[in-house]
Structure 1
Amino acid sequence: MTRCRLCGSEAPASVVDLGATPPCESFLAADQLDQPEPAYPLHLRVCTDCWLAQIPPLITPEETFKEYAYFSSYSTSWVEHARTFVADAVQRLALGSDAFVVEVASNDGYLLRHVLDRGIRCLGIEPSVNVGAAARDAGVPTLTEFLDPDTGSAVRAEHGPADLVVANNVYAHIPDVVGFTQGLRALVADDGWVSIEVQHLLTLIEENQYDTIYHEHFQYYTVASAARALASGGLTLVDVELLPTHGGSIRLWARPAEAAGEPTRRVADVLAREKAAGLQELSGYTEFSARVAKVRRDLLRFLIEAAERGETVVGYGAPGKGNTLLNHCGIRPDLLAYTVDRNPYKHGRFTPGTRIPILPPEQIAADRPDYVLVLPWNLRAELVEQLSYVHEWGGRLVFPIPELSIVEVTR
């Protein structure tokens, strides 16, 4: 990487180099196991001018999202998070039956179904053919497209300007930050609102959440760098909320620059926290690589010692973040026999790179393993409850992030 994709500055500084891994959502079918599997460098750097953390765009969104393995509706807590957001946004923005809401990267309609339930007109823009089809099957109007300025203008011309544009967990997924932001501006009414949720680089660094670094996440935002990115497309940050989702996210509220007004006190408060953490100077990033290496050593030590004791360890979940962890640690089926997932799309497939089988969740109760390694650690509270049945045979849960934690569960 020679230039920052946001400000164009040369030679961003290294933060952590995770080696080379396959794209995290490229789950393998059984007939692909004897075929070559491409891997790409996974090296996080930060621009020392605008402080946008980023990886090189070595794969395209088209490669990742035309056929996508992630369906939001399989996470109970995420569906509830969306329902709460819709209820709060309707109240905050006084959205009535004449309003129009657009969600970008709307996935399987998990959020917009709550908008429809309130009698509000809406449209999803979802690039993945398979999950967009699932949304339409559920009655959510969905356009299969990537957002850019032309798409935003075309949607506005056909449907009118949006009172609210939602872009949850997508602002990190597009290499053309400026073009995507211009697309958001094209969609939103001149006095409308844009709401963006994205993982917060502050918690990623503080909590060792390096497994959320993967090829479909092209950049990693602080509030400071996000404000600069929004401004590149004619939007102004006016408010921010700190959220627990994905281990720590920020919800950015922005408006067209001409309607924005002064930002809230919360914006200044979070900017001050980021500055205090050193995220606007290299000192805030220098220890991260060493802490990542410790996570790897601790997890491998646990798995090797369990294997030597003759104890069984299986996984729970097959999220994208899990594949960064598995590949960086070099974990194979000799240390993790299999993992399970609620998403039937993944059953019978294998994790990219590490080729660990993915089975239905019922396999855990059938096999009664000694330990269950929880890969979607960000859903800890939800999964401790879901997996409480492992106590019946003395099984325990293992969480690898932010540090190795072994949990005995009870009903």
Structure 2
Amino acid sequence: MVFNSLFNGSKKESFPLYLVGLFIALNFTAELTKFKNLTVILMIAIAIFFLFKNYRLALAPLKNKLFFSVIFFVLTIFYSLFISIDPQISFDSMNKPILNSILLFSFVLPIVLHKNSAIQIAKMILISIAAGLVITCVRDLLMYVDEYHQGVMPFTEMTHRDLSDGYVLCFPVILSLWYIYKKNSLPHWACLIVATMITIIFMLGTFARGSWLAAVVMSAIVIIFNKEKMLAFMGITALICGAVTLVSYDNAQQHPLTRKMEQTSSSNRYGGGTQGTALELILQNPIKGYGFGNSVFHRIYNEQVKDHPDWIYKQSLGPHNVFLAIWFAAGIVGLLALIILTLSTINYAYRAFMASSSNTITAQAVLLLMVSFIGWVIVRGTFENVYLNVLGIHLGLLMALGFRIKAERIPE
């Protein structure tokens, strides 16, 4: 289904799909920066061409509450520049994640894809994210092989943590593709189990507990939406067996991986730890804020740590919470803007999913974007410092797909 007759139509119409798909896949590679930048430049050029050709039609995908919530959020970040203790540092910090990612891709991607059909966009999303998962796993495997040759055993070092980003963004695609191809045959179930086990093993090696929790929550949401009772039973059973095995393991505290699994507050996040101290700083100035950027947070924290002997860390580790980070940066209005953006995204995705319920591929692509966003922002963002630049891809693809679903009037 997904891989057969990928793009119906002329080469001219298909080029934006190939370009966006290549851009998404390249985001999971370590190098190839020049090629990534080239795809971005080409997308911007195509967007400008469409705007000059027919700006009313090109801008139609942006006429929704989700895009306005994006603009509101970006404006609050600009506000944080004016009140920042160091506007230059704040501007440098916001340049890539806010201007060149959230704002840019939320604006460009819907315009670039506005002429393609919903099914074409959905197929592109599923294939490019599946390719991203494969790329991430291959990179991870090559790292393990290289470390083994250097005498480093697997699951003993935290050198794979950066790959957790790719796993969080891509993991739900396994369940989405399985649902699309669902046949309930032995080979079919075997492929699901093998792909899931490989990905889970690699995810455990990242030592990123936020990504582990995100994977569980995302899987639960997909299973609930797809009404997969058997998968729910298998998942719960696997979690119980894993917990029992961990508890019964005699030398759990001696192994880095099992020790990480048993920790409940690895960064002493509450009280005098990361999130606790971040909240203390915020409550000193909850309305106005301090300015955007981790560098601003580090400066404020490090200046005040001498006055707080109860703070565990004498050097800042960051707030370890995306909502606290934005609240710290732009005050209460920034926190409100992020909450509105989060709720608008989920609402927009849910409506698009319901509107496309008669088309399995389109519905699964929407569900994939929605759960990936939830896993990244709400779940992982509650426990770790996450990169906001990823949201531009989520939001841009979601608006492009949602617009086409509405335009084609897919029956509910």
TM-score, length-normalised on structure 1? Answer: 0.23
More helix by share: 2
